[in-house]
Amino acid sequence: MADGLRSQLCAPARIVVVEPGSAACVTRALEAGEPVTVDGDLHTSAEMLSCGLASAPALAVLLRHGARGLSVDESMLRDAIAALREAGGPDSTASGAAGLAGLLRASADPTLRAAHALDGDSRVLLVISEGDAALRD
């Protein structure tokens, strides 16, 4: 996705990977420049993001594009699901709504806003990566 989108993004474009703090293997790998194993309890409501080691080929692509990582906590993941629903967006899971959780976290924190160059003129492409099949049954 990073390879396909990067050329379409306007400067100062940023690719931000959002993941739960308890399983932030991509964030740690981006900081280290190589895959890093995250030890301990990887439990999170964002089950599809609960892994302890980032994919080396995927990490290479993210590093090439200067991607950054951002972790969120469980309450932020829950809030993002609710915010999507309240705004008329798609029903999603904690994994699918992680990007929105990160955007909400970054936009509410002046330091993170500055680090990610977010301001009143920013245009954000937010990817909701999955729907909540349980809600459709």
Residue extents of the structural domains in the chain: 15-130
Give the SS3 label for residue 16: strand
Q: 88 in the Ramachandran plot: left (φ > 0), alpha (ψ -120 to 50) or beta?
A: left
Better-predicted residue by pLDDT, 2 or 129: 2
Lowest-pLDDT range of 55-59, 88-92, 97-101: 88-92
Overall CATH class of domain 15-130: alpha beta
Per-residue pLDDT of 42-79, as tens digits, reads 878 777 777 888 899 999 999 999 999 999 999 999 99
Is pLDDT of 127 > 80?
Answer: yes
Would you state the pLDDT for residue 87?
92
Backbone angles phi, psi at 126, to 5 degrees: -110, 125
Is pLDDT of 10 > 80?
Answer: no
| Residue reference for tokens 């954000």 | 124
* In the chain, % of residues over pLDDT 90: 50
Is pLDDT of 35 > 60?
Answer: yes
